[in-house]
Amino acid sequence: ALPGKIIQSMKKAGSSNPVFLMDEIDKMSTDFRGDPSSALLEVLDPEQNTTFNDHYLDLDYDLSKVMFITTANTLDRIPRPLQDRMEIIRIAGYTELEKLSIAKKYLMEKHKEANGLTKENLDFTDNAILGVIRHYTKEAGVRNLEREIASICRKVAVEVVRKDRNAHIQIGSKSLHKYLGAIKFRYGKAETEVKVGVTTGLAWTELGGELLATEVTIMPGKGQLIITGKLGDVMQESAQAAMSYVRSRAAELGLEKDFYQKLDVHIHVPEGAIPKDGPSAGITMATSLVSALMKIPVHNDLAMTGEITLRGTVLPIGGLKEKVLAAHRAGIKKVLIPAENEKDIEEIPATVLKTVELELVSHMDQVLKKALVVDDPDSLFRNAHVDTQPKDETPPFTEKVDEVPASEILPQ
């Protein structure tokens, strides 16, 4: 915004190859006052910035030796041409265990000292810090966590001054209400009992992983599919694909071929005020559908994530680390993940993998056998040998092509 800012900063640095940090580059706005993103194209593009022209000083200057680092919270707000000039490094948000460690090692000591407290005056239990993380903050970083810890330290400092300078106050999970007030946020918890038509899914958000329960209920009707919960286009299409899969497997599941013509199916994802979208709820919806139609409950200590195709193939998803951590936080014992996501397991902390069992699935049939509460999982598919997919009787087209030596194609 200031004239000659780039050249001014280089003069201030006293070097022709400094490091420039542009913070919050996604907050740029384009209006009648100008378009900074277009100006930055010339600055950040290594092919153009050798002849950068400062319009205020009317000088050409070589910026090719400058190391530019930019930060942003979301990529959506950065124009595509500008993204194309950048090497994008995604940094995941902190996990609960990392936030706990940061609070114990840095934040608590910092705010004790800032408020005139000694180590003996105040002590936090691990459960208290986790309570603050889960119930009073909802963020990818630790900014609000630091605010809440600072708030507790200020109130404890008042107590110490009023009572005794050598007082020892321990903050436990039960005393958080006294210092921080009523709970601000709640986090997903596993179902306490097995239920028909209710499956625990996993979702990724900018603030971390979340549990996403999916409910299906069946009513007498005329074949209407109702989808609610403020779902985006991708999740609505996942619901339709899940319904098509169940219809294609009706005979093998022991359902009538025309069952959908006599019933209305309602798929609902709770917390309807919160928009939800993403390609990872397909197998969750399909499991809930089969559970509701066959009146078989789903394991309550199991969660799943994955997209589904019309033929039941389970497709890979993103954000596996955050999703598994959400399952671990909620006390889930087993998580079904797409087989193609096996490569992402190494990102998950070893302490989490000790308590959460990950099972790889590649087809919806495997998901149903693992998720539904039945004595004999193979009995789910009564006619498993029957191929319900229509066969194409047309022989494959083949054309004989004479092989041409590579020497005749490639230039000499």
Angle between helices 233-248 and 282-294 (to 10 degrees): 40
Q: Are 304 and 191 in contact (CB under 8 A)?
A: no
**Would residue 71 be called left, alpha or beta, if left means φ above 0 and alpha means ψ between -120 and 50 degrees?**
beta
- Give the SS3 label for residue 407: helix
- Which of 339, 238, 332, 345 shows the shortest CA–CA distance to 288? 238
Phi, psi of 208 (to 5 degrees): 120, -165
Is 2 buried (19+), middle (13-18) or exposed (0-12) by CB count in 10 A? exposed
For the chain, what's the residue count? 412
**Placement of tokens 């200031």 in the chain:** 2
- Give the SS3 label for residue 138: coil
323 is catalytic: yes
Helical H runs in 119-212? 126-135, 143-162, 176-180
Whole-number Cα distances in Å, 344 to 204, 284, 338, 339: 15, 20, 11, 10
Residues facing 211 on adjacent strands = 202
Phi, psi of 333 (to 5 degrees): -90, -30
Q: Which of 99, 276, 321, 323 is catalytic?
A: 323
Whole-number Cα distances in Å, 10 to 22, 43, 68: 14, 13, 12
Phi, psi of 290 (to 5 degrees): -65, -40
Q: How many CA atoms lie within 13 A of 58 on its CB side?
A: 0
Q: How many CA atoms lie within 13 A of 212 on its CB side?
A: 32
Tokens describing residue 154: 């200020």
Tokens describing residue 253: 């599941």
Query: Distance (Å, rounded) from C-alpha 375 to C-alpha 391?
Result: 33
Query: Distance (Å, rounded) from C-alpha 132 to C-alpha 125?
Result: 11
Q: How far apart are the first and last CA of the chain?
A: 55
Q: Which of 280, 288, 291, 321 is catalytic?
A: 280
Q: Are 261 and 223 in contact (CB under 8 A)?
A: yes
Instruction: Give catalytic residue positions.
Output: 280, 323
